[in-house]
């Protein structure tokens, strides 16, 4: 357990001292700052573009601002996360750094889980920072902004991304090449999308259902108690994915 803490400290130090510190939190913060402003300016921008045709656009609200923010996070933010994390194990294995660490009294589970924990921490801080900025500008630019709706949506976004992060870690432990790990991550994400179609139970509780709850949350719509079931199933999925990552990596030759 002590070496898990030491590896985690090393991972955090690595994040603080490499480009990773700027990419994920930087990009997330950028979305937090720009999404409300762009949403506010969108009718004016579109209006100036269509000119005299005279299309009338509905007035944007805080819900649109949140929607834009979470859409950006879920697309480009996720892409940045995949690109910066897919090589976390694969690259160290390929370069031989893992050999140096794992010939010391370090259990392989600690090595894998420290990477997950550090990236999850980075993700949580990035999302919190970005949401803080998004809420601040949304509240200034739009009336009646509901803080709690955005906070709930951020929590759901984080849970969904924690599942994706576990997929990335599993993919990275499966492969020795960063590119292959990226490919396997995409394959894993496709499988997560397919999962709900396999049975009614999975349709209701698979992590993919978090997307629907995210929309409901930031819209301020009531959320039914089935969310807890989805959250529990997502946590089980994370545990299974990380268990698989540890199992796969423990059997890998270095």
Partner 1 sequence: MEYVIETENLSRRFGKVAAVNKLGLRVPRGSVFGFLGPNGAGKTTTIKMLLGLTKPSAGTIRILGQPASRNYLNRIGYLPDVPNFYSWMRGEEFLTFAGQLFSIPPKELKKRREDLLALTGLEGVKTKIGGYSRGMKQRLGLAQALINEPELVFMDEPTSALDPIGRKEVLETISQIAQRCTVFFSTHILTDVERVCDRVGILNRGELVMEETIAGLHQRFGKKALRLVVAGDPGPLAAGLVKKTWAQEVRRENDSIYCTVFDLAAAQRDIPLLVSQCSLGLVRLEPVETTLEDIFVRLVKS
Q: How far is the CB of 7 from partner 1 (least distance, A)?
A: 8
Residues 33-62 that bind partner 1 (CB under 8 A): none
| Backbone CA torsion sign across 17, 239, 155, 34 | positive
Report if residue 97 touches partner 1, rule: CB under 8 A.
Answer: yes
Identify which of residues 21 and 215 has a Cβ nearer to partner 1 in the complex.
Answer: 21
Identify which of residues 20 and 40 has a Cβ nearer to partner 1 in the complex.
Answer: 20
Report if residue 254 touches partner 1, rule: CB under 8 A.
Answer: yes
Identify which of residues 17 and 59 has a Cβ nearer to partner 1 in the complex.
Answer: 17
Q: How far is the CB of 3 from partner 1 (least distance, A)?
A: 6
CA distance 228 to 245: 25
Instruction: Fill in the DSSP letter of residue 230.
Output: H
Burial class from Cβ neighbours inside 10 Å (0-12, 13-18, 19+) for residue 19 reads exposed
Contacts of 243 (CB under 8 A, 6+ apart): none
Q: How far is the CB of 26 from partner 1 (least distance, A)?
A: 18
The beta strands (E) that lie in the chain are given as none
Q: How far is the CB of 202 from partner 1 (least distance, A)?
A: 36
**Paired tokens of 198:** 């396999």
Report if residue 1 touches partner 1, rule: CB under 8 A.
Answer: no
CB distance 176 to 250 below 8 Å: no
Among 41, 46, 75, 95, binds partner 1 (CB under 8 A): 95
The piece of 36-44, 71-79, 103-111, 185-193 that touches partner 1 (CB under 8 A) is: 103-111
CB distance 82 to 168 below 8 Å: yes
Residues shown for the chain: 254
Report if residue 10 touches partner 1, rule: CB under 8 A.
Answer: yes
Q: CA of 71: how far to CAs of 31, 58, 209, in Å? A: 10, 20, 16
Among 46, 50, 55, 100, binds partner 1 (CB under 8 A): 100
Closest C-alpha among 36, 83, 42 to residue 59: 42
Q: How many residues bind partner 1 (CB under 8 A)?
A: 21
Q: How far is the CB of 106 from partner 1 (least distance, A)?
A: 6
The piece of 10-18, 172-180, 195-203, 214-222 that touches partner 1 (CB under 8 A) is: 10-18
Binding site for partner 1 (CB under 8 A): 2-3, 6, 10, 14, 17-18, 95-97, 99-107, 253-254
């Amino acid at each position: 357990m002590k070496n898990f803490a030491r590896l985690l400290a090393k991972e955090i130090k690595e994040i603080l001292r490499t480009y990773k510190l700027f990419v994920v939190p930087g990009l997330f913060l950028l979305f937090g700052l720009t999404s409300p402003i762009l949403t506010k300016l969108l009718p004016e921008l579109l209006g100036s573009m269509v000119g005299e045709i005279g299309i009338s656009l509905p007035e944007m609200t805080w819900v649109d601002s949140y929607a834009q923010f979470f859409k950006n996070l879920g697309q480009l933010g996720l892409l940045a996360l995949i690109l910066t994390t897919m090589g976390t194990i694969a690259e160290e294995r390929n370069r031989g750094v893992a050999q140096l660490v794992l010939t010391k009294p370090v259990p392989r589970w600690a090595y894998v889980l420290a990477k997950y924990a550090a990236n999850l921490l980075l993700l949580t801080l990035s999302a919190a920072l970005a949401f803080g900025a998004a809420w601040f500008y949304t509240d200034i630019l739009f009336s009646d902004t509901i803080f709690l709706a955005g906070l709930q949506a951020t929590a759901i976004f984080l849970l969904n991304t924690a599942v994706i992060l576990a997929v990335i870690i599993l993919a990275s432990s499966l492969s020795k090449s960063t590119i292959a790990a990226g490919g396997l991550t995409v394959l894993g994400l496709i499988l997560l999308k397919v999962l709900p179609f396999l049975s009614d139970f999975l349709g209701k509780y698979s992590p993919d259902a978090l997307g629907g709850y995210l929309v409901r949350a930031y819209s301020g719509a009531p959320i039914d108690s089935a969310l807890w079931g989805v959250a529990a199933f997502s946590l089980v999925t994370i545990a299974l994915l990380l268990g698989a990552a540890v199992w796969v990596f423990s059997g890998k030759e270095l």
